[in-house]
A and B are shown apart, each in its own frame.
Chain A
Amino acid sequence: MAAEVTQNRPIPTITITSRAGDALSQLGKAARKKPMGAAGAVVLVLLVLVAIFADVVAPYPALEHGPTPLAGPSSEHLAGTDQFGRDILSRVIYGARTSLYVGVAATVVSMVPAVLLGMTSAFFGGWYDYLLQRFVDTIQALPGLILLMTIVVILGSSLWNVIFALSFNRAIVGSRVMRGATLGVSTATYVEAARACGATNVRIILRHLLPNIVPTIIVVYSLGFGTVILAEASLSFLGLGVPPPTPSWGGMMAADGRAYMFAAPWMLWAPTIALAVVVFAVNMFGDAIRDLLDPRLRGTR
């Protein structure tokens, strides 16, 4: 038994400080250690602000048709206009709202089933574990994008169906990681001790196992956020994402951008740059979080 315990790699602890000053100084320390991660965090905060205050920040309404269609970048329209004369910069700003909405919703919706399925699968084992994992195998064998396309086609194209499809995929993929993390901690002596004290299964799962996989949850979902945003853009690019006229970066690069791409290439520039910068920021931030919280997960995406 002792050998097994030493095999368990140390589980990082999150110190919760009561004083705000302490928390701030810890944040500062983390930022100095991971400058790129901090830069990523700043970009993400900006994204959230832009999305929330889109009405204030955007120079034009996202859906209003203007008198100058397909105009190049100018002082009036910094990123040019599209075929309906809509201001591209404004649409990119409102598009941030779509990306963020889908990203946050899919992350939140997928987290509970992923943690629940992963933990119970690892904890109870047996037939339940076997069947559930074969189901996860099946879903993972399908190319993610094709699974998403199929779900959206079956349910119909709408904002919430896109979110549901993304959440389903993330929940299944995530549950495998949660199962692994739970298996890693469930052999620890404190679990055995708790069971010896007569703790119920529910209590062991919630009080003893869950807190120990929190770092894994944070890491998986901070890196997964970028995947979700990219997947939504890919779906919209193929015309299966958030239905128009709601501005979405992927959609702007497809339905709007591609038909006019040779005559009006600026229609592609702004959404592409926005998408790349945000995904880049999420990756940097997620990498930093992973290194700080759970170095074991290095190399996973």
Chain B
Amino acid sequence: MLRYAAKRVVGMVPTVLILLFLAVIMINLIPGDAVDLMMEENASPERRAALEEQLGLGEPAPIRYVKYVAGMLRGDLGDSLWSREPVLPELLKRVPVTIEIALLATLIGTAVGILLGVISALRQDTFIDYAIRSVAIAGISLPNFAIATFVVVMPAIWWGISPTLRYVGFTEDPFTHFKIILVPALVLSLNLAASVMRLSRTTMLDVLRQDYIRTAQAKGLRSIQVTVGHALKNAMIPVITLTGLQVAYLIGGSVIVESVFVIPGLGRYLITAIDQRDYPVIQAIVVLLGMFVMLVNLLVDMSYAWFDPRIRMT
């Protein structure tokens, strides 16, 4: 297992290097003069020179690449063009909020999705099955920014209540903090719950038809034991794959949902950075999120062995 993990981490190196390369040449891809685009009107020549130097536009891309990688190894992801502050500390304050929402949404989405999928499979072609499936298809079709907006707007119009839009940090008051991120996480989890439900229904139906399930039933196990102990674990591998693939999507979704619920996570930081063309910030966000998703994929791959001991980690 450890050897497999080490092998996979080494295998990630080229991907991380490509990611960093893309982040570095990003600025070269801007059509026209990037500095002109960023400068306020009548900016001083000194400011212009400082900006050019900060973006490293005077240097060829390979040198900037080496510098960026070296800086990253020292924990330096560059400075914001506007606040002149280093990007990393600010990011480390915000990234946890976004990842917290995304992970909470993953937990809720998979739990609800699997539960509904299993119920749907056990009650195949009954009213319950149809009801759950219809809701799931609707859940896939509604964009999460629309759901988020409606969750904010409609209770206020119908019942005159609005969700608290003032953010509270975890260290300030963990309970209130949880209450505040719960609603965005719930909104974000809907899409995932719907796709997990559809997939776990399909795989459960597949597994339930197999011989060992009949054996388990024949030897007199209670149906809950058969479902959870025998069927579920074997039906989970495709579901885990799906969930792993969706983590990247959920982080993107979190950016949108955060902006609706006014939560100071990565979303608002990124949107501000984009408005201000603050390239070092955008670069750092791209690099950090890409690496996080790669890490999640590694964990997902390793979890297969736990679900199915037949899968050898080599």
Residues of A at the B interface (CB closer than 8 Å) are: 134-135, 137-138, 140-147, 149-150, 153-156, 226, 230, 233-234, 237-238, 240, 250, 253-254, 257-258, 261-262, 265, 268, 272, 275-277, 279-280, 283-284, 298-299, 301
Contacts and interface: CB of A to CB of B under 8 A. Distances in A.
Given A149-B270, A238-B256, A280-B137, A141 B248 contact: yes
A133 B153 CA distance: 44
B238 A142 contact: no
B29 A154 contact: yes
Chain A CB within 10 Å — which of B142, B145, B242 has the most? B145
A142 B248 contact: yes
Interface stretch (B11-19, B62-70, B89-97, B218-226): B11-19
A146 B294 contact: no
Given A141-B248, A299-B242, 9 more contacts: A137-B294, A145-B249, A155-B29, A253-B145, A253-B149, A265-B153, A265-B157, A276-B146, A277-B141
Contacts of B22: 138
B282 interface: yes
29 contacts: A134-B14, A134-B15, A138-B22, A142-B248, A144-B249, A145-B255, A145-B256, A146-B252, A146-B289, A149-B270, A150-B282, A154-B26, A154-B29, A154-B30, A233-B145, A234-B256, A237-B143, A238-B271, A253-B146, A261-B152, A262-B156, A272-B149, A276-B143, A279-B142, A280-B137, A280-B138, A284-B137, A299-B199, A299-B203
B286 A146 contact: yes
A240 B18 contact: no
A147 B19 CA distance: 12
Contacts of A262: 153, 156-157
Nearest to B142: A276
A276 B141 contact: yes
Contact of B253 (A145, A257, A258, A279): A145
B290 A141 contact: yes
B199 A141 contact: no
A258 B149 contact: yes
Q: For the complex of A and B, list the 8 residue pairs with the smallest distance between their C-beta atoms, beginning with the closest.
A: A145-B252, A143-B252, A280-B141, A279-B141, A138-B18, A141-B293, A143-B251, A143-B248
A153 B295 CA distance: 27
Nearest to A153: B274
Given A138-B22, A150-B286, A301-B195, A234 B143 contact: yes
A144 B252 contact: yes
Contacts of B285: 146
B305 interface: no
A261 B286 contact: no
A272 B142 CA distance: 8
Nearest to A272: B146
A279 B138 CA distance: 9
B252 A261 contact: no
Contacts of A276: 138, 141-143, 146
Interface in B256-293: 256, 259, 270-271, 274, 277, 282, 285-286, 289-291, 293
B9 interface: no
A150 B26 CA distance: 9
Interface string B123-142: 00000000000000110111
A140 B253 CA distance: 15
Contacts, number: 130
Interface string B228-243: 0000000000100010
Query: Which of A140, A150, A156, A275 has the most CB atoms of chain B within a 10 A radius of its CB?
Result: A150
Contact of B153 (A137, A234, A261): A261
B31 interface: yes
Contacts of B271: 238
A145 B291 CA distance: 16
Contacts of B286: 142, 146-147, 150
B154 interface: yes
Output the residue of B30, B138, B143, B149 with the most chain A CB within 10 A.
B143
A268 B150 contact: yes
Given A154-B29, A238-B271, A283 B153 contact: no
Nearest to A237: B145
B252 A230 contact: no
A233 B143 contact: yes
B140 A283 contact: yes
Interface string B145-183: 110011011101100000000000000000000000000
A299 B30 CA distance: 38
B238 A275 contact: no
Contacts of A250: 143, 145
Contacts of A280: 137-138, 141
Nearest to A148: B252
Taking each of A141, A149, A230, A238, which has the highest tally of chain B beta carbons within 10 Å of its own beta carbon?
A141
Contacts of A254: 145
Nearest to A151: B29
Interface in B173-199: 195, 198-199
Given A141-B248, A153-B282, A275 B143 contact: yes
Which residue of A135, A138, A143, A154 has the most chain B CB atoms within 10 A of its CB atom? A143
Contacts of A268: 146, 149-150, 153
A107 B149 CA distance: 28
Given A275-B146, A276-B142, A142 B30 contact: no
Given A142-B289, A257-B149, A230 B143 contact: yes
